[in-house]
Amino acid sequence: MRALCMPQGLSPIELTKLEALICSARSVQRGEALYRSGDRFDNIYAVRSGSMKTVMAHRDGREQVTGLRLAGEALGLDGIGEDVHACSAVALEDSTVCIVPYPALKSLCREIGSMQDRLHKLLGEQIVREAGQMMVLGSLSADERVAAFLLDVSERNARRGYSSAEFNLRMTREDMGSYLGMTLETVSRTLSRFQKRGLVDTQGKHIRIVDLEGLQKV
Amino acid sequence: MRALCMPQGLSPIELTKLEALICSARSVQRGEALYRSGDRFDNIYAVRSGSMKTVMAHRDGREQVTGLRLAGEALGLDGIGEDVHACSAVALEDSTVCIVPYPALKSLCREIGSMQDRLHKLLGEQIVREAGQMMVLGSLSADERVAAFLLDVSERNARRGYSSAEFNLRMTREDMGSYLGMTLETVSRTLSRFQKRGLVDTQGKHIRIVDLEGLQKV
DNA sequence: CGTTTAATTGAGGAAAGTCAAGTGAAGTGG
DNA sequence: CCACTTCACTTGACTTTCCTCAATTAAACG
């Protein structure tokens, strides 16, 4: 659990302090929201098991998936800016999260320099990740977007010690499409074409990457 | 200058401490890079005068404008995540920036709680802003993107005490297009159409918003 | 004031979206 | 545990939006 909740580089002492901080865990049913856009920001979360999506809504009701969080990844940073969550976080499958109260985390960051660094990195990485996604949405073709997405998930799986070649993606085609700025039909067609070209092997939500290099060259 | 470099809510004492931190200012010529993608991350900046764009490059060389910074806004946060800048920052006109050394800022954040809050907010706001841009790129039509962009710049101008109705945008149509995920021709056509519909009045880089409500309804 | 760079506009084409029908997978209740 | 209902996915035909290429005009910089 330690490894899952706050994976990177803290000393044992720091981990103990952090563990004291994590008051509780919570389980979230598939489709249920851990928090909603507009909710007061109290906690940062770490996905312990399962996976979640973050969703942002335009005033006219249109929704866009802004992120995917796999087990081990942080969640909730969208609340720091305005003391209120800017996105909603919805479970893609039955999941559990660790709860890290933000005020306590802030104090800890003032006590322990490496904890401060860790939080800053978390925030900074999120900024870079999102800038990368802006690049995907703004500059890549549909094929390139889907390929980039599969490679991203693959790499994140690898980092968590799972297979980079084969995984279950609990998002629907619609979620993927929303995240990638295209329709669910285009996602489906693109995956079918990739399959014909021998790049991937998809059966619904189960995805196997057959030709990694080929996918990188798309 | 105080107001420009770190506008929001610090006590006078804190401001003094912060000022001690801002070792220097720097001027950047139009077209010149304040920092480049890959440069080591040492400082955060605040635009003191002028304006800048941030640009991210794909490995194949394609570039995407990922942000616009007006006077008074923070710059350089894309370096925190990896100790290396993920974007390049290029001046859109002759500009000056305040330089805030990051290590010193970190220390100050451990001393002064409100400074820590301020930095967290800066990071958090950036995260929310970028998520909003993902939404723009992923869900809006060309017309809606241009309208949203003009309204965003207008609002940011207002917040800085300038006219919300009339301003100079030093970006080229190509920069705007890149930021909004469309071609420069489409930007140009869209602005022309807006002009015919009596929503805006543009003459090159000078933009006047004629019908704010109309623009919001696009 | 001339030269370079940026912006506008038009015509034609390509990529992705929409609508629609059919198939398959998954969750629910008897 | 199976049948049923619902939801998700795939595929095709057609439409729309935006992009590409090209020519012209306007603005900006040295």
Query: What string of H, E and C letters represents the secondary structure of A29-79?
Result: CCCCEEECCCCECCEEEEEEECEEEEEEECCCCCEEEEEEEECCCEECHHH
**How far is CA A95 from each of CA A30, A48, A169, B83, rounded to the nearest angstrom?**
7, 7, 14, 32
Mutate to test the interface with A, among B59, B82, B130 (most CBs of A within 10 A): B130
Helices and strands (H, E) in chain B, number of each type: 8, 11
Percent of chain A whose predicted confidence (pLDDT) is above 90: 85
- Whether residue B19 has pLDDT greater than 80: no
The beta strand positions in B11-165, using DSSP E, are 24-28, 33-35, 43-49, 51-57, 63-70, 74-75, 88-91, 95-101
Residue B138, burial from CB neighbour count under 10 angstroms (0-12, 13-18, 19+): buried
Residue with tokens 């980079």: A164
When pLDDT is averaged across residues A133-156 and rounded to a whole number, the result is: 97
Residue with tokens 């806004």: B73
- Whether residue A136 has pLDDT greater than 90: yes
B187 CB closer than 7 A to any strand C atom: yes
- Whether residue B132 has pLDDT greater than 60: yes
In whole angstroms, give the CA distance from residue B116 to residue B100.
14
**Please, which pLDDT band fits residue B8 given cuts at 50, 70 and 90?**
low
CA-closest candidate to residue B36, choices B68, B79, B71: B79
**Please, which pLDDT band fits residue B22 given cuts at 50, 70 and 90?**
confident
Q: Furthest-apart CA pair in chain A: how many Å? A: 56
Residue A134 CA distance to nucleotide C23 C1' (Å): 35
In whole angstroms, give the CA distance from residue B165 to residue A218.
44
**Please, which pLDDT band fits residue B15 given cuts at 50, 70 and 90?**
low
**Strand D-proximal residues, CB under 7 Å?**
A 172-174, 184-185, 187-189, 191-192, 202, 204-205; B 30, 141-143, 181-183, 185-186, 203-206
pLDDT value of residue B10: 56
- Whether residue B47 has pLDDT greater than 70: yes
**Strand, coil or helix: what is A168?**
strand
pLDDT value of residue B4: 45
- Whether residue A21 has pLDDT greater than 90: no
Report residue A33 as tokens: 């929201």
In whole angstroms, give the CA distance from residue B37 to residue B58.
11
**Strand, coil or helix: what is A82?**
coil
pLDDT value of residue A61: 87
**Is A123:A77 a contact under the CB 8 Å cutoff?**
yes
- Whether residue B90 has pLDDT greater than 50: yes
Q: Furthest-apart CA pair in chain B: how many Å? A: 56
CA-closest candidate to residue A25, choices A47, A55, A42: A47
When pLDDT is averaged across residues B114-121 and rounded to a whole number, the result is: 93
**Strand, coil or helix: what is A23?**
coil
Report residue A218 as tokens: 């798309």
In whole angstroms, give the CA distance from residue B179 to residue B172.
11
In whole angstroms, give the CA distance from residue B192 to residue B198.
10
Q: Identify which has the larger pLDDT, A20 or B157.
A: B157
In whole angstroms, give the CA distance from residue A202 to residue A188.
10
Residue A124, burial from CB neighbour count under 10 angstroms (0-12, 13-18, 19+): buried
- Whether residue A163 has pLDDT greater than 70: yes
A77, A109, A179 member nearest B127 (Cβ): A77
Chain A residues within 8 Å of chain B (Cβ atoms): 54, 56, 58, 62-64, 66-67, 77-82, 86-87, 106, 109-110, 113, 116-117, 120-121, 123-128, 130-135, 137-140, 178-181
Q: How far from each other are the two terminal CA atoms of chain B, in whole angstroms?
A: 37
Query: What residues of chain B lie within 8 A of the CB of A121, using their CB?
Result: 80-81
The 10s digit of each residue's pLDDT in B137-185 is 999 999 999 999 999 999 999 999 999 999 999 999 999 999 999 999 9
pLDDT value of residue A24: 86
Alpha carbon of B206: minimum distance to chain A alpha carbons (Å): 25
pLDDT value of residue B23: 66
Q: How far from each other are the two terminal CA atoms of chain A, in whole angstroms?
A: 37
pLDDT value of residue A3: 45
In whole angstroms, give the CA distance from residue B82 to residue B84.
5
When pLDDT is averaged across residues A52-76 and rounded to a whole number, the result is: 95
Q: Work out the mean pLDDT of chain A and round it to a whole number.
A: 92
Tell me the residue type at A128.
V
pLDDT value of residue A23: 66
Query: What residues of chain A lie within 8 A of the CB of B120, using their CB?
Result: 80, 106, 123
**Is A102:A42 a contact under the CB 8 Å cutoff?**
yes
Chain B residues within 8 Å of chain A (Cβ atoms): 54, 56, 58, 62-64, 66-67, 77-82, 86-87, 106, 109-110, 113, 116-117, 120-121, 123-128, 130-135, 137-140, 178-181
Residue B124 CA distance to nucleotide C2 C1' (Å): 50
pLDDT value of residue B24: 86
Alpha carbon of B34: minimum distance to chain A alpha carbons (Å): 18
When pLDDT is averaged across residues A100-111 and rounded to a whole number, the result is: 93
In whole angstroms, give the CA distance from residue A196 to residue A216.
16
B183 CB closer than 7 A to any strand C atom: no
Query: What residues of chain A lie within 8 A of the CB of B128, using their CB?
Result: 78, 81-82, 86
pLDDT value of residue A4: 46
- Whether residue B2 has pLDDT greater than 50: no
Searching chain A, which residue's CA lies closest to the CA of residue B180? A138
In whole angstroms, give the CA distance from residue B15 to residue B98.
14
Beta bridge pairs of residue B96: B27, B49
Q: Do A181 and B58 touch (CB under 8 A)?
A: no
Of A179-193, B106-120, B127-141, B181-195, where does mean pLDDT reach its minimum? B106-120
In whole angstroms, give the CA distance from residue B195 to residue B200.
5
Of A16-30, A32-46, B150-164, where does mean pLDDT reach its minimum? A16-30
Query: What residues of chain A lie within 8 A of the CB of B180, using their CB?
Result: 138
Q: Which secondary structure element, helix H or strand E, spans residue A26, and what is its range? A: strand A24-28
Q: Work out the mean pLDDT of chain B and round it to a whole number.
A: 92
Other C-beta atoms lying within 10 Å of the C-beta of residue B205: 14
CA-closest candidate to residue B90, choices B38, B51, B129: B51
Q: Which nucleotides of C are covered by protein (CB under 7 A)?
A: 6-11, 15-20, 25-26
